[in-house]
Amino acid sequence: MFVQYRIFKKFSLRPQDFYESSYWIQDLFFPVFPSEFYFLLLEITCAILVILSIFYQKIYINCFIFVLLALINIPIVSYNGASHTNHVFVLSYFFSIFLLPKKLKEEDIKYIEYYYAGMLITYSFSGFWKIFSMIKNTITQSSNLLWCSENAAKINTISSYHYVDLIPPDFIINSYDNSTFWFYFTLFGIAFQFLCVLGAFNRNKLTLVMIFLITFHFYTQYFVLADLGIAKFGLIILFFPYHIF
């Protein structure tokens, strides 16, 4: 929430004309960019409920937390995704609405696995659509750039920087010199992303998935300028192998 407030403050300095809602729910709750008082009220209320949920684990409290977290993210996504929202943070509360730690028993491990699956399937869907688009564009002989095209990763990086009127640093461009490596590395990454959901049902695989996703987010943050807030830290908190200690 501190991260979201920092992003909110940065966006609040922009002209109101730049604010454009993308979904009906944004028109309903934030037809204009909210005031700092309104935004802080949502964040403080949410923080109080999060603390309260530690001592009083109730489904209705979890529901309120999820709704507030979703609302806090809405104004930011209305800047056409200028800053990626904390989807890991929001979804973690959505999929855990019915998980009450004090009432869980050892045999309820399947519910935790379903929770992991819900979190990871978002990444698997992302991998699926990349694979689907490659197959579709290959069959239709589309002129669109494919993820399996030569220098696809490099072109994606350059276009991402140019989109925000920036020039990629030389060390990033130079890192793409070995195009053969990046070709296979990109395909491997897409395939691994597609299979991420399988990690939900195996502790060892889940650790590998965690390491892959954290690496993936570091790459997208600096090479594609897709900074998903505190997603990396959220993944560590959720999937860290605590049982080894």
The 10s digit of each residue's pLDDT in 209-242 is: 999 999 998 998 899 887 666 788 889 989 999 8
Phi, psi of 100 (to 5 degrees): -115, 100
pLDDT digits (tens, 9 = 90+) for 77-92: 766 555 555 678 888 8
Host H or E run for residue 36: helix 36-55
Contact (Cβ atoms closer than 8 angstroms) between residue 99 and residue 245: no
Residue 150 clears pLDDT 90, i.e. is over it: no
Beta carbons within 8 Å of 108's beta carbon, 6+ residues apart = none
Between the CA of residue 74 and those of 5, 81, 94, 225, what are the distances in Å?
12, 10, 15, 20
Radius of gyration from C-alpha coordinates of the chain? 20
Which tokens hold the place of 159? 């276009």
24: buried, middle or exposed (CB in 10 Å: 19+, 13-18, 0-12)? exposed
Contact (Cβ atoms closer than 8 angstroms) between residue 194 and residue 125: no
pLDDT digits (tens, 9 = 90+) for 22-71: 777 778 888 888 889 999 999 999 999 999 998 989 999 999 999 998 88
Between the CA of residue 173 and those of 5, 114, 186, what are the distances in Å?
33, 40, 16
Largest alpha-carbon pair distance within the chain?
58
Using a cut of 0.95, tell me whether the model's pTM lies above it.
no
Contact (Cβ atoms closer than 8 angstroms) between residue 155 and residue 145: yes
Contact (Cβ atoms closer than 8 angstroms) between residue 102 and residue 57: yes
Predicted confidence at residue 76, as pLDDT, reads 76
Please indicate whether residue 66 or residue 103 has the higher confidence score (pLDDT).
Answer: 66
Closest CA to 226 of 124, 146, 156, 170: 156
